[in-house]
Amino acid sequence: MNIPNSVNPRIVIIGGGFAGIALARKLKNKNVQVVLLDKHNYHNFQPLLYQVATGGLEAGSIAYPIRKVIQEYNDFYFRLTSVQEIDTKNQKIIAEIGELSYDYLIIATGSKTNYFGNKEIERNSMGMKTIPQSLNIRSLILENFEQAVLTTDVAERNSLINFVLVGGGPTGVELAGALAEMKKAILQKDYPDLDIDKMEINLIQSGDRILNTMSEKSSIAAEKFLDNLGVKIWKNVRVTNYDGRTITTNSDLTFETGTVIWTAGVQGALVAGLDAKSLVEKVERIRVNEYSQVIGYDNIFAIGDIALMENENYPQGHPMMAQPAMQQGKLLGKNIIKLIRKQPMEAFEYNDKGSMATIGRNKAVVDLPKYHFSGVFAWFVWMFVHLFSLIGFKNRAVVFLNWVYNYIRFDREGRLIIRPFKKKSFTTFTSDEV
């Protein structure tokens, strides 16, 4: 892989998400050689992907070049590649661009959409875990509207502007709210020849409340906010299939729709090669101890969504969110140096700062560890927390400017269909995983 030899021990990090970047920053100029691998050349701020998908922000505003993060780090290398396999016996990784040996390996590959084995749903619906996927969702929404104005078949037209979001977690809820805003702010004005009342936003949740990782108060508030925005919430409904045209469920309920966005589950983005004992089936996460060490290995670690650290408070591991990932990355940065110096490592303790979700134009729900609030003030809190979590001054300024503009003008100008538009036969909506 053309990495220079070094007197320093080599630490290989797979993944430049929240966990990987937090770790990398802690390893700056610490007499270690670090090689950071990612299949994208940028870190992306996943919590705002839904705004890229709905035209509120440009992709560049929520992404940050990885090479820029590490610009002044010594003995620090970035390589753009996916990783196929870990050869634990020979202590090397096998990547698309070649092999690389490691002294310490950190797996921070994050998570991907979980279709629970249903290939037909996977083929016909859209996931939203990456920037290219978000841009594809944006294009698909607008393409469907362009297609809808062309057709004289009422059933087809309604189906094209019927949106179904499967999964009532934060991503589904925030996307539903943003779509409702997009409907009022843009689509109604841009497509005067369509009957916008026919545009439906359906949010399907298999459990009995949305945002079920948050407090019950938040669930109730979020439902009310979504209801006010005209989003239809279907609870206790489980999607059984989607053939590109019709969603079937575990009840008689069906949906005719051209756009299904699937946020109903995530699973670890595993790299092959670890011992089966180290893995947790179904969720595809990697079992780690309190030092983020992968069970069964001394010099392999996993952090972020991919890692499952069992403990009393979190018997099924920490939530797959930015906060635990960043905290694990930070601590591991210290611990690896301690390990190298043969000092005892520090056990991870998750500092739960709370969670929040925004709904539509100016509402949010916020759960702090001992306090819950919702509404416009919660939205202000949401906005500033997200603004200051972005990397880079310029991104913050541009995002802020966009939000102010969008808010004042009731507009979202990010509506370029960048991929080529082809008039499609109705049944060939395809997602385009990148």
Does residue 346 belong to the site contacting its own copies (CB under 8 A)? no
Does residue 235 belong to the site contacting its own copies (CB under 8 A)? no
DSSP string, 196-235: GGG-EEEEE-SSSSSSTTS-HHHHHHHHHHHHHTT-EEE-
Does residue 417 belong to the site contacting its own copies (CB under 8 A)? yes
Classify 330 as helix, strand or coil.
Answer: helix
- How far apart (Å, rounded) are the C-alpha atoms in residues 256 and 202? 11
Residue 155 CB, nearest approach to its own copies (Å): 15
Residue 29 CB, nearest approach to its own copies (Å): 14
> 10 Å Cβ neighbour count for 319?
15
In the set 119, 277, 370, 423, which binds its own copies (CB under 8 A)?
A: 423
Query: What angle, rounded to 10 degrees, do the helices at 393-409 and 376-389 form?
Result: 150
Q: 373: which strand partners?
A: 366
Does residue 341 belong to the site contacting its own copies (CB under 8 A)? no
Does residue 50 belong to the site contacting its own copies (CB under 8 A)? no
Q: 18: which strand partners?
A: none
- How far apart (Å, rounded) are the C-alpha atoms in residues 254 and 285? 33
| Cβ distance to its own copies smaller for residue 355 or 402 | 402
In the set 9, 28, 80, 334, which binds its own copies (CB under 8 A)?
A: 80
In the set 2, 5, 313, 425, which binds its own copies (CB under 8 A)?
A: 2
| Cβ distance to its own copies smaller for residue 243 or 432 | 432
Q: Which stretch binds its own copies (CB under 8 A): 343-351, 366-374, 380-388, 391-399?
A: 391-399
Residue 68 CB, nearest approach to its own copies (Å): 7
| Residue 132 parent element (H or E) | helix 131-150
x/- letters, 191..210, toward its own copies (CB under 8 A) = x-x-----------------
Does residue 395 belong to the site contacting its own copies (CB under 8 A)? yes
Q: Which stretch binds its own copies (CB under 8 A): 5-13, 76-84, 303-311, 354-362?
A: 76-84
- In 120-189, the DSSP E strands lie at 162-166
Question: What does the longest C-alpha to C-alpha distance in the chain come to?
Answer: 73
| Residue 174 parent element (H or E) | helix 170-182
In the set 154, 253, 347, 416, which binds its own copies (CB under 8 A)?
A: 416
Does residue 190 belong to the site contacting its own copies (CB under 8 A)? yes
In the set 6, 8, 26, 60, which binds its own copies (CB under 8 A)?
A: 60
Q: Is 174 a catalytic residue?
A: yes
Classify 120 as helix, strand or coil.
Answer: helix
Classify 75 as helix, strand or coil.
Answer: coil
Residue 169 CB, nearest approach to its own copies (Å): 26
In the set 87, 103, 122, 149, which binds its own copies (CB under 8 A)?
A: 149
- How far apart (Å, rounded) are the C-alpha atoms in residues 137 and 125? 10
- How far apart (Å, rounded) are the C-alpha atoms in residues 185 and 298? 54
Q: Which stretch binds its own copies (CB under 8 A): 120-128, 177-185, 344-352, 386-394?
A: 386-394
Q: Which of 72, 122, 156, 174 is catalytic?
A: 174
Classify 65 as helix, strand or coil.
Answer: strand
Q: Which stretch binds its own copies (CB under 8 A): 73-81, 163-171, 262-270, 321-329?
A: 73-81
Does residue 410 belong to the site contacting its own copies (CB under 8 A)? no
x/- letters, 93..122, toward its own copies (CB under 8 A) = ---xxx------------------------
Inter-residue contact 100 to 92 (CB < 8 Å): yes
Closest residue by Cα to residue 58 from 141, 146, 131, 137 = 131
Classify 308 as helix, strand or coil.
Answer: strand
Does residue 71 belong to the site contacting its own copies (CB under 8 A)? yes
DSSP string, 92-119: EEEETTEEEE-SEEEE---EEE--TT-H
Residues recognised as catalytic: 174
Q: Which residues bind its own copies (CB under 8 A)?
A: 1-2, 4, 39-42, 58-61, 63-65, 67-68, 71, 77, 79-81, 96-98, 131-132, 135, 142, 146, 149-152, 189-191, 193, 392-395, 397-398, 401-402, 405, 409, 411, 413-423, 434
